[in-house]
Amino acid sequence: MDLKKKVINNFNSLEPFLNEKIYHNMKEKCIDNARTIQDLKNMMNYINYNKEKYLSSNPNADPEHKNEYQGPIRKSILSVCFSENLDKCAKQFCLDSNDIAANIELIRNKENLSKLLRPPEPDCSLSDLLVNYKPSNLSEAKVMENICNLIGKEMINHPYIKEFVYEYLRNNCFVSTNPTEEGKKTIRCFSSFF
């Protein structure tokens, strides 16, 4: 229960930054209906990602830590991407994790697939789009790499997407291992690697 309280307190600090519908949807589906500790840990990953997204440029915006000493902060790749507004650039040509989660829900519920959200079509080329967001010291290819990493990080931290992918892999994949020739000689049935 302590973990759940921690998740709720941390998630509540994101309320001013999240769309009201997304906030209530995430609270209901991923916190209130959490069945396992792993569900809560997945939600904590989502919260930490969003804190970095919304609070990295203004660490004092988090009321929970307002009076704490803020030492030097090492900038992560994500905080650099957010400070350069690459997340806003990505939204101009792809769906965000909440939109993909909404599409997954439509597919799971076998609803009318014409309701699926589609990525926006920018009215200019990608090169023209990147001109507004490209930091002076990065090449266009590096900017695109950072945008792809940012989108991937957003997807992997969304608890609903993570749950869907895990369930899909568990139901559709088979993993087997075989020892190497050296392993056959050294690993016995009482070994932890057996």
Where does a domain end: 47, 73, 99? 73
Question: In sequence order, which ranges of 28-139 are alpha helices (DSSP H)?
Answer: 37-55, 77-83, 86-91, 97-108, 126-131
Tokens of 91: 């939204």
Average pLDDT over the chain reads 79
> Is residue 15, in this structure, part of any structural domain at all?
yes
- Domain carrying residue 103: 76-175
Of the two residues 19 and 83, the one the predictor is more confident about is: 19
Task: Locate 22 and state its tokens.
Answer: 């997304």
CA distance 31 to 54: 20
Asked if residue 192 belongs to a domain, the reply is no
Does some domain include residue 123? yes
In this prediction the pTM is 0.68
Q: Which among 98, 103, 118, 92 is positioned nearest to 46, based on CA atoms?
A: 98
Between CA 31 and CA 134 the distance in angstroms is 37
Please check whether residue 112 is in contact with residue 67, taking contact to mean a CB–CB distance below 8 angstroms.
no
CA–CA distance, 32 with 180 (Å, rounded to integer):
46
Give the pLDDT band of residue 134 (cuts 50, 70, 90).
low
Q: What's the structural domain count of the chain?
A: 2
Q: Is the pLDDT of residue 67 over 50?
A: no
